Amino acid sequence: MFEDKIIPLDEWVSTSVEWLVDHHRGFFQAVKWPIEQTLNGLDAGLNALPPLVVMLIVGLAAWRFSGIRLALFSVFAMVFIGLLGLWEDAMTTLAMVLSAVVFCALAGIPLGILAGRSDRFQAWLRPALDAMQTTPAFVYLVPIVMLFSIGNVAGVLATIIFAVPPIIRLTSLGIRQVHPELVEAAQAFGATRWQVLHQVQVPLAMPTILAGLNQTIMMALSMVVIAALIGAGGLGSPVILGLNTLDIGRAVIGGLGIVLMAIVLDRITQSMAKKR
């Protein structure tokens, strides 16, 4: 019954992407430019800072939001990464994650607010979020490379696509969880829609929004190794190099660096949400 291919979807997709590459390269370069500038600035800045300064900043952030135990662990984790010879790779990874999270927040929080305030918009957005979360990352690496070339910027773009759904979903959830009576009370006192959003809904939804930010950071870190397949640097590079050369030691230290960085960022952002 299904011996022959009836729907040539693969050919349609290939033709569409090639048409975009041929006719709209300028648009994709314009999309790439702010991400590239942000990434290059963060990467240069983090690698230019002395390691002691970076460790001090991370330790103070951990102490401020959680306490001395997390601060000590965070400093120990950064020292251990440096002793493994992965400091520059770790700073590149941190720059990539921060860049991706910045653009995820800039796009995801407004979309989440719209979805939280509009059932119709949420119904339209949900299938797109489902597709972004369930499509294997390797599938959209090919069109990203065709449209944006290879390198760190392409890795950040792939990370943004993969990591933005949680912050959209949890922002929408946070807005919807605000008790309707609080909104009605604000409206009864003459608050505009913007004032209700800015002074009631967003502050009350902030813990949930920060939880979404935490999930976005974790998903961004999970993309580090996959992004290395398209030329992105950072801690994914030792893992891919170890895989290609069957050097288990190199792969293990790269993976360990990713794990330590993920733990530190996860605990800090979780503590921010709880403190809020």
pLDDT digits (tens, 9 = 90+) for 104-118: 999 889 999 888 888
For residue 1, what pLDDT band results from cuts at 50, 70 and 90?
A: low
- Residue 186 is which amino acid? A
- Residue 227 is which amino acid? A
Q: Which domains does the chain have, with CATH numbers?
A: 23-275 (1.10.3720.10)
**Can you tell me whether residue 5 is helix, strand or coil?**
coil
The helix, strand and coil proportions of the chain, stated in percent and rounded to the nearest 5, come to: 85, 0, 15
User: pTM of this prediction?
Assistant: 0.85
Contact 246, 98 (CB under 8 A): no
Distance in angstroms (rounded) separating the CA atoms of residues 50 and 187: 51
Distance in angstroms (rounded) separating the CA atoms of residues 97 and 158: 11
Distance in angstroms (rounded) separating the CA atoms of residues 103 and 31: 11
Contact 268, 61 (CB under 8 A): yes
**Can you tell me whether residue 161 is helix, strand or coil?**
helix
The mean predicted confidence, pLDDT, of the chain is: 83
pLDDT in tens, 138-153: 777 777 877 777 777 8
